[in-house]
């Protein structure tokens, strides 16, 4: 078996038909993390950095829905088409659709390399069904990181975000600008603004977060899994803060 751990995420992004290039037989201590935090708090940015440090794959439900949205309309299931509409508005995709999508990819949660879940779970119902699956398979969570950031900073981060249409790398017009304007530093792909980063969608996303996702903080606090982390400062500082807080639990 190879000892190289990639973040290819093919199986996660494309479902059972995808191919994982690096079965992780060699990871002594697999990290299994959930990242919580408001839209724009920096979960995706941190997941990428944490992947580089901890080697677990970055599993984002938002990335799966966005990848599905790029498929030919005829290849999309009615539920996936409906999910695109919810996303555009900034509303949460219905739990049943989300769970069906995650269930198809449950192998990624059983991976011996661990995982970093970004954007899932997002409602109490999702958290409960995930807990059932993990308990049943005897998969212990290492921690649930809650990134905390004031609202004005969140709005500034979202409105300046640009994402690579090809490899999904995330940039910011002022905080993390690409070397060449409009081009991805990693793969040269075109940088685009996400449809749900428009001001009217941001408001809906913040409402959905406050209503549906903040109860998860208490849910995981009760399970003694919550790791609050201040999300201000540079991405590298926040990542160091996160790994330090996680190591303190072990
Ligand atoms: P999703 O893709 O999960 O989006 P989100 O939770 O709204 O989070 P974001 O990706 O917007 O932000 P982030 O916290 O990852 O921040 P980032 O690192 O990019 O979900 C999108 C939609 O999909 C949902 O609205 C919903 O419709 C649907 N969906 C997905 N999962 C679902 C589920 N489980 N249930 C129901 N519906 C679901 O950073 C933001 C910006 O800030 C970037 O430009 C970045 O460069 C910059 N930045 C990051 N860190 C720093 C820093 N330290 N300093 C300065 N700038 C920084």
In eight-state DSSP terms, residue 187 is: T
pLDDT band at 4 (very low <50, low <70, confident <90, very high): very low
pLDDT value at residue 3: 37
Mean pLDDT value across residues 116-140:
97
pLDDT value of position 2 = 35
Alpha helical stretches, state H, the chain: 10-14, 43-54, 61-69, 78-89, 95-104, 106-110, 124-136, 151-159, 199-208, 215-222, 235-249
Q: Whose CA is nearest to atom 8 of ligand 1?
A: 39
CA of 28 to the centre of ligand 1 (A): 30
Nearest CA to ligand 1 atom 55: 175
Write the residue with the smallest CA distance to atom 39 of ligand 1. 42
The ligand 1 atom at the shortest distance from the C-alpha of residue 172 is 44
**Cα gap 128→123, rounded to integer Å:** 9
Measure 8 CA to ligand 1 centroid, in angstroms. 19
Q: What span, in angstroms and rounded, lies between the C-alpha atoms of 205 and 154?
A: 12
State which ligand 1 atom lies nearest to the alpha carbon of 48: 18
User: What's the average model confidence in pLDDT over 121-149?
Assistant: 97
Long-range pairs for 40-44: beta carbons < 8 A, 24 or more residues apart: 40/149, 40/154, 40/155, 40/157, 40/158, 40/161, 40/202, 41/147, 41/148, 41/149, 41/154, 41/157, 41/231, 42/147, 42/149, 42/157, 42/231, 42/235, 42/238, 43/118, 43/119, 43/147, 44/118, 44/170
Segment 209-245, tens digit of pLDDT: 999 999 999 999 999 999 999 999 999 999 999 999 9
Determine the Cα–Cα distance for residues 67 and 64; give it in Å rounded to an integer. Answer: 5
Q: In this predicted model, what pLDDT tens digit does every residue of 72-103 receive, in sequence order?
A: 777 778 888 899 999 999 999 999 999 999 99
CA 60 to ligand 1: nearest atom: 3
CB atoms under 10 Å from CB of 108, counted, come to 18
CA of 2 to the centre of ligand 1 (A): 32
Side by side, the strands of the sheet bearing 226-230 are 57-60, 114-118, 31-37, 143-148, 226-230
Strands 161-164, 170-172: pairing kind: antiparallel
Mean pLDDT of 172-198: 94
Residue 197 alpha carbon, nearest atom of ligand 1: 11
Which of 51, 98, 119 gets mutated to test ligand 1 (max ligand atoms within 8 A of its CB)? Answer: 119
The 8-class DSSP code of residue 190 comes to B
Q: List active site positions.
A: 43, 122, 161, 194, 205
Two tokens at 210? 């406050």
Rounded CA separation 145/230 (Å): 10
Centre of ligand 1 from the C-alpha of residue 93, in Å = 15
pTM of the predicted model as reported, rounded to 2 decimal places: 0.91
For ligand 1, atom 34, name the residue with the nearest CA: 120
pLDDT of residue 5: 46
Which residue is closest in CA terms to ligand 1's atom 41? 157
Query: What does the block give as tokens for 220?
Result: 């995981």
How high does pLDDT run on average in the chain?
A: 90
pLDDT at 23 over 60: no
User: How many Å lie between the centroid of ligand 1 and the Cα of residue 25?
Assistant: 30
- The Cα 102–Cα 145 span in angstroms is 20
């Amino acid at each position: 078996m190879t000892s190289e751990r990639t973040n290819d995420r093919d199986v996660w992004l494309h479902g059972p038909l995808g191919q994982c290039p690096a079965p992780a037989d060699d990871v002594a201590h697999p990290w299994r993390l959930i990242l919580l935090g408001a839209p724009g708090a920096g979960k995706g940015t941190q997941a990428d950095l944490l992947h580089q440090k901890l080697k677990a794959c970055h599993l984002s439900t938002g990335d799966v829905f966005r990848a599905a949205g790029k498929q030919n309309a005829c290849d999309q299931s009615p539920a996936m088409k409906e999910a695109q509409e919810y996303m555009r508005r900034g509303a949460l995709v219905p739990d049943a659709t989300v769970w069906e999508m995650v269930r198809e990819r449950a192998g990624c949660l059983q991976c011996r390399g661990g995982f970093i879940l970004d954007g899932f779970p997002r409602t109490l119902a999702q958290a409960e069904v995930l807990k059932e699956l993990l308990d049943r398979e005897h998969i212990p969570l290492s921690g649930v990181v809650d990134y905390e950031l004031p609202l004005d900073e969140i709005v500034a981060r979202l409105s300046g975000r640009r994402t690579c249409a090809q490899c999904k790398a995330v940039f910011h017009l002022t905080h993390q600008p690409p070397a060449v304007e409009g081009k991805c530093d990693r793969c040269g792909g075109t940088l685009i603004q996400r449809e749900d980063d428009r001001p009217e969608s941001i408001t809906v996303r913040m409402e959905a977060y406050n209503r549906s996702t903040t109860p998860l903080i208490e849910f995981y606090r009760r399970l003694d899994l919550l790791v609050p982390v201040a999300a201000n400062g540079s991405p590298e500082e926040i990542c160091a803060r996160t790994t330090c807080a996680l190591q303190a639990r072990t």
